Amino acid sequence: MDVFLVIEDFCTKSPTAEASRILRYWAGAVAQMDLTSETGHPLMNAAYDTQVGRLRLVHTGNAEE
């Protein structure tokens, strides 16, 4: 089974810094995730007071191309 992590609607004033922070967090969290089912999670800024995007876990054939 192929699994994709898709980042959607990502907008922030500092995209490089926020993307680095978000990817470090999710890289550590992926070991604890159930990769057998599709899911979605909000991506929050560093202060955790504003949603800056959405992360989706999708299986092959379900990701929009």
Sequence spans of domains, the chain: 3-59
CA distance linking residue 32 with residue 15, whole number of Å: 26
**In whole angstroms, how far apart are CA 48 and each of 22, 52, 57?**
11, 10, 21
pLDDT values of the chain reduced to their tens digit, one per residue, 65 residues: 788 888 888 888 888 888 898 889 988 988 898 888 999 999 998 899 999 999 999 998 655 54
3-state secondary structure labels for all residues of 36-59 = CCCEEEEEECCCCCCEEEEEEEEE
Please tell me the predicted confidence (pLDDT) of residue 2.
Answer: 86
pLDDT at 46: 85
- Element at 22 (helix H, strand E): helix 15-29
pLDDT the model gives residue 64: 56
Helix (H, G, I), strand (E, B) or coil at 3: strand
